Structure 1
Amino acid sequence: MNNSKKILGTSLVAAVALGALLAGCSEKKEAAAPGNAQGNAPAKKGNVTVSMYDRGSVPAAEGSYEDNRWTKWINQNGPANATFVPVLRSDSTKKFNVLFASGSAPDIINEYNTPFRGGLYDQKQLLPLDDILKFMPEYQKLLTQYPQLKKAGTKADGKLYEIGKVKEATPAHMLLIRTDWLKKLNLQMPTTTDELLAVAKAFTEQDPDGNGKKDTYGMNMSTYSEQAINEIFGEGSSSTLLAWGIKDGKVIRQWDNELASLTFKKKLYDDGIIDKDYINDKDGAKAKQDFLNGKIGIYVKFTGGWYDFVMNDMPTLKKNVPGADIAPLAYPKSPMGTFTGAIDNPVQMTTVINAKAKDPEAVGRYLDFMMKPETATKIINGDEGTHWKKSPNGCPTPIDATKSKNEVSYALDYEMFFSSGIDKCNYVLNQFNPEVPEQKAGMDMYRQVQKLYFDPSREYPGITVGDHMPVYDADLNVINTQILKEKNDLFVKAIISGSKYTPEQAIKDSQAAWDKAGGKKLEDFMNKWYQDNKDKAFLAKDVMAVVKQQMELVK
């Protein structure tokens, strides 16, 4: 979840998917220098400064992030003279702090870090957008189509400060199960957590791969997959987020849910269902390799990169285990309820405006120009006929992958606030060619994933996605960090210590640590935030509303 923050990738597939807007419509128009919002004669160009992430991906032949074919095109065709300020992606907030302290921060701040943007608001470093929206008709249209953007971008004073983008809603995690193993062991798809545990144990102990060795795991668990187990029990905690829920109109710590998920994880460990060395598989790389080698029966997968999974991982599994068959498995019913699983943030806030911006009108006009679908298509995909052509489904496909990688892919972050999720050409399903049987199978499986993980009859695990949780001030953040560390250490101890240290004791000790660190202050803050913002904040119901809206688009 949190942040479950998904940063724009630089893979070619991602570039093509993001740039698909306008595909299947009329021929693209070359974006020209626009007039004002009312369509009158072009206004005199103002000057703006714009941050962008430096990912070190601009080839020497293309120039630099400050000066390349796309910055030239933007300045030649756009309504403002833009100066680009690269900020190292791995050290962005530190660099921004230096720039603000020196009075040299750019007008437009593109930054994914939610607490950092929240801190800028608290320090009164941001310009409200209300007065410049009249120069941003593209964003005004988006706010009308997706009012959740306004919810997410509005601060405590009731004014709009943050610009965001709509992305395709995707499940954060999913379960995949070896159906060939189910058939071999004469087992049914598990529908409850007790059944899940029984099936996983059978996969571990009954030699489902038939090699006469006890060398299979029923399930996997690492940083990401552990979050999936939490979600099954209705709590969205992670290494950076406590388990918060709503009960009787109040925010509570979900101690009962955490006890249930912790008890389940300990059972997985004690029974040898997961790798005993799971704690060192933080990114899930070993679990993935075990799955591809045919050694895991129920695979908890982070859902990012479904196209890559179908095109690369599935063929690898089939090559290693020709008889392997998999199917998506819905989260089973737990004693705490039946849940959807977390949704990767579909409304991601990206951009704020420096309160000291000298020409707010130029800022608004620049952003409006960059948000135009024809501009975004140009920057993200390159030139039609040179870098891309229309595929059979009407969506852009690269002509020469290497050329597009070298000349186009590095430019994605100039459009990091562009809403790729408003057009179905950008969606996972449209990456596939249904005429190719393997790709058709991947499409069909993902449709099944959507059906299972977007089921509106299920509850959402937690209050909202991590990016939209309230931001703590410095003092509360210290308390939160201390509580998280102690809680995470105690929970690991409970999982791996056998009968010497039980989940019940871990919860009791976590509660004591919570009290000692001042956890009540966090709870009071969360409740005040919820009471003040429950009708205004971007909550779980808003996440599912976006899901519903997008599913209508792809019917």
Structure 2
Amino acid sequence: MKKKMAVVVAAALVSTTLLAACSNNGNEKNSLPNSETSSNEQTTNTSTEPSTKASQEPLDLSIFYFDGSGVVKMDSPVLTKAAELTNISLNNVAPAGGEEKQAYNLMLASGSLPDLISYYISDLNSIGSEDALAPLNEYIDKFAPNFKKFLEENEDVRKAITAADGNIYTIPSVADGTASTGWFIRQDWLDKLNLQSPTTVDQYYEVLKAFRDQDPNGNGKKDEVPYMQRDNVVGAYSLLPLWDAYHSFYIKENKIVFGPYEDQFEIGISNIAKWYAEGLIDKEIYTRAKARETLLGNNTAGSTHDWFASTSNFNNSLKDQVPGLNLIPFAPPASSSGKVFEVGKRAKLTGFGWGISANSKHIEEAVKYFDFWWTEEGRRMFNFGIEDQSYKLVDGKPIFTEEVLSQPAVNGYLVEAYGAQLTKIGAWQDFSYEEQWTNEIALKGIKLYQDNNLISSDYTLPPLSFTQEEQERITDLKGQIDTYFAEKAQKWVMGGEEVASNFAAYKDELKKLGVDEYIQIYNDAYTRYLNMK
């Protein structure tokens, strides 16, 4: 009770501070300054060529961009070039270390917000509704033609970034591509045992048993781990879709349901417990660190479900250590009901974006600066860096230099060396940047899943906008519900308790913890999303 009261008091203090900080803003919500007070009234451009200038004179804008690693620099090659083109430079006021949420809350409590804030869209929408951020609807219409065009062509994004009060407070970070994760199997083991790639859950079960019993790694020991998973949080739950179950929220019959509260979850978790007891699943699935490196590296892992690019790369990185390793993607085995689908899908929105303080004296310039990143030139810089340094244009297409492609972690190198691919700013990723450093095995897997429409949209919720009250209730409910579900499910999988005789009591406890309210909050937000015009 004391903890809950502390949260409420803290929220009230932040809200009061924000309202006080914004009380000097004379403009009504969603309104533009009039022509007499516009800070950019002398910036009329008579050129017939479109200008990238966001300000007539060089302008510094303060920004909160937390980067605990210390890698992101506001004077990086990309941001420096952007400053040359737009006349706007960024000055980061976020602390260089510490914890992100704490730094964000301290900034809010200070009552003095920077011009720009890069953070989670849900949080920015919340403080926007408290008048801390400028509503951008009309500014986008007037000063952001490129982003406006994107919204017109991507209605789902427009809906997703619109706050519960109907205003847009953020320009989002938008991802590109569809496929993210898929099923992988050791084709070299299948070949050795003269087995076909499984196409159903029952066939998959038989293949895993063969991996367990028939010594496919040829060392004379029964040490094979038929199925492994590197994410020890999700753990064995990646197998749940094989029985039409899921471990989180998903869409079912046009409603959002909570997978662990569905009756189908009992069937799924019971079968996973059976497979675990039979030695088909890594015994250390909940605790093992670096499962792929360890189990593929010692030639004991037979199958997994994971990201296409990083998992496929083990064929190259381990080729000398494990001769003949051939870990390839295969289509999802048909579930117990006969459905063939993949739950993993790239979310269109990363969850991050940037907004503008309601008290900033440079809202118009900031919006123009935001829009630069949605131009062809700005988008190319964000994705590929600097021409003739990190990439070259070949037949009009940016192609990374060998120096970039030879890096062990291309994405991290782009961030650190050039300031490209900054995930917390409002820009549009281009999947072709990733294609260039993704190997052929992964690209074939991605093509298999995309061309055959195997990727379900039901398991990736649209980014939902919650009211401040809803967000507070989610915070109260989520921790205890998720903790109880995770502890119970792990106990069942590892054989500490029978599923069937305890599932009803488990659901009763979830109900006592407020799961029905938890689900209803999500459905209320989802209904608003669907009805948004």
Instruction: Report TM bin, short chain.
Output: 0.7 to 0.9
Distance 1:132 1:38 in 2: 22
Write the deviation string for residues 315-344 of structure 1: whole angstroms up to 9, x where unpaired.
243323323333312221223533222202
Q: Note if contact 1:54-1:65 (Cα within 8 Å) is conserved in structure 2.
A: no
TM-align CA RMSD: 3.5
Gapped runs of 5+ residues in structure 2? 1-42, 408-412
Shift of 1:256: 2.3
Distance 2:73 2:122 in 1: 26
Aligned with 2:267 (options 260, 264, 279) = 260
Shift of 1:122: 4.7
Q: Note if contact 2:385-2:419 (Cα within 8 Å) is conserved in structure 1.
A: no
Structure 2 residue 169 is the aligned partner of structure 1 residue 173: no
In structure 2, the residue corresponding to 1:503 is in which secondary structure?
Answer: coil
**Number of equivalenced pairs:** 473
Q: Note if contact 2:250-2:461 (Cα within 8 Å) is conserved in structure 1.
A: no
Distance 2:275 2:98 in 1: 36
Which residue of 1 is the match for residue 30 of structure 2? none
Shift of 1:163: 1.6
In structure 1, the residue corresponding to 2:358 is in which secondary structure?
Answer: coil
Q: Note if contact 2:379-2:427 (Cα within 8 Å) is conserved in structure 1.
A: yes
2:274 maps to a residue whose letter is K
Aligned with 1:269 (options 276, 287, 292) = 276
In structure 2, the residue corresponding to 1:142 is in which secondary structure?
Answer: helix
Which residue of 1 is the match for residue 333 of structure 2? 332
Which residue of 1 is the match for residue 461 of structure 2? 464
Shift of 1:446: 2.0
2:145 maps to a residue whose letter is P
Aligned with 1:409 (options 394, 414, 418) = 418
Distance 2:209 2:484 in 1: 31
Which residue of 1 is the match for residue 91 of structure 2? 83
Distance 1:391 1:66, change over 3 A: closer
Shift of 1:268: 2.2
2:323 maps to a residue whose letter is P
Which residue of 1 is the match for residue 498 of structure 2? 502
Shift of 1:157: 2.4
Distance 1:117 1:180, change over 3 A: same
In structure 2, the residue corresponding to 1:289 is in which secondary structure?
Answer: helix
Which residue of 2 is the match for residue 300 of structure 1? 305
Which residue of 2 is the match for residue 446 of structure 1? 443
Which residue of 2 is the match for residue 3 of structure 1? none
Which residue of 1 is the match for residue 485 of structure 2? 487
Q: Note if contact 1:266-1:495 (Cα within 8 Å) is conserved in structure 2.
A: yes
Distance 2:521 2:415 in 1: 48
In structure 1, the residue corresponding to 2:523 is in which secondary structure?
Answer: helix
Distance 1:301 1:519, change over 3 A: closer
Which residue of 2 is the match for residue 51 of structure 1? 64
Aligned with 2:427 (options 418, 431, 435) = 418
Write the deviation string for residues 302-322 of structure 1: whole angstroms up to 9, x where unpaired.
33xx1x555x52124332332
1:289 maps to a residue whose letter is T
Distance 1:387 1:218, change over 3 A: closer
Which residue of 1 is the match for residue 239 of structure 2? 229
In structure 1, the residue corresponding to 2:370 is in which secondary structure?
Answer: helix
Distance 1:158 1:323, change over 3 A: same
Q: Note if contact 2:186-2:327 (Cα within 8 Å) is conserved in structure 1.
A: yes
Aligned with 2:287 (options 280, 302, 307) = 280
Gapped runs of 5+ residues in structure 1? 1-32, 59-63, 433-441, 538-555
Distance 1:74 1:357 in 2: 21
Q: Give 1:144-155 correspondences, 5 Å limit.
A: 144-155=152-163
Distance 1:36 1:297 in 2: 65
2:391 maps to a residue whose letter is W
2:135 maps to a residue whose letter is P
1:280 maps to a residue whose letter is T
Shift of 1:519: 1.9
Q: Note if contact 1:235-1:257 (Cα within 8 Å) is conserved in structure 2.
A: yes
Distance 1:515 1:191, change over 3 A: same
Aligned with 2:172 (options 164, 171, 177) = 164
Distance 2:174 2:89 in 1: 27
Write the deviation string for residues 356-407 of structure 1: whole angstroms up to 9, x where unpaired.
3222111111212343332454466454334433468943323645997698
2:399 maps to a residue whose letter is P
Write the deviation string for residues 406-448 of structure 1: whole angstroms up to 9, x where unpaired.
9833454398322123xx63242x336xxxxxxxxx3255233
1:320 maps to a residue whose letter is Q
Q: Note if contact 2:121-2:172 (Cα within 8 Å) is conserved in structure 1.
A: no
Write the deviation string for residues 72-102 of structure 1: whole angstroms up to 9, x where unpaired.
5444431445433345576223212211221
Provide TM-score, normalisation by structure 2.
0.78
Which residue of 1 is the match for residue 392 of structure 2? 389
Q: Note if contact 1:389-1:397 (Cα within 8 Å) is conserved in structure 2.
A: yes
